Amino acid sequence: MAHIELTWINTQRYLAVDSTGHSVVLSAPNDIGVKPSETLLIALAACSAHDVVEIINKQRVPLEHLSITVTGEQAPEPPWAYQRIHMHFRVQAVQLRQEQLERAIDLSLNKYCSVRASLSPDIVVTCTAEIQGAT
């Protein structure tokens, strides 16, 4: 079972600690921590990255680099729910084909990623992916 502890530090700063003891500082924009609503985007990217790395590793393709840029469009009125999220995957892997990468992303977002599965189906999530030159 997932378990976190959130503690108010001061003003609008909070310390969140997960069930394994890892922590993150959250705060209002223009302060020292991560904006709380953007932790959702971080969680989506990290969950999907985990899946994609696992899938590519199972295909025995050496992965050199993976990064994901995520943009989110929120509603203009409270509660400012996310309406659209776009994920752009950049991968370096000499033996990886574009179809393999796209299939790994599709499996992640439509089958394995618990964060995506927990989001409202009304949120439009789009993806692009590129294989960059190997180093």
CATH for 114: 3.30.300.20
Contact 63, 53 (CB under 8 A): yes
pTM for the whole structure? 0.94
pLDDT in tens, the chain (135 residues): 899 999 999 999 999 999 999 999 999 999 999 999 999 999 999 999 999 999 999 999 999 999 999 999 999 999 999 999 999 999 999 999 999 999 999 999 999 999 999 999 999 999 999 999 755
Q: Kindly state whether residues 94 and 106 are assigned to the same domain.
A: yes
Q: Kindly state whether residues 11 and 68 are assigned to the same domain.
A: no
Q: What is the SS3 assignment for 77? A: coil
Contact 83, 73 (CB under 8 A): yes
Q: Kindly state whether residues 21 and 58 are assigned to the same domain.
A: no
User: Which pair of tokens denotes residue 81?
Assistant: 């729910």
Q: Kindly state whether residues 109 and 44 are assigned to the same domain.
A: yes
Q: Kindly state whether residues 44 and 68 are assigned to the same domain.
A: yes
Total structural domains within the chain = 2
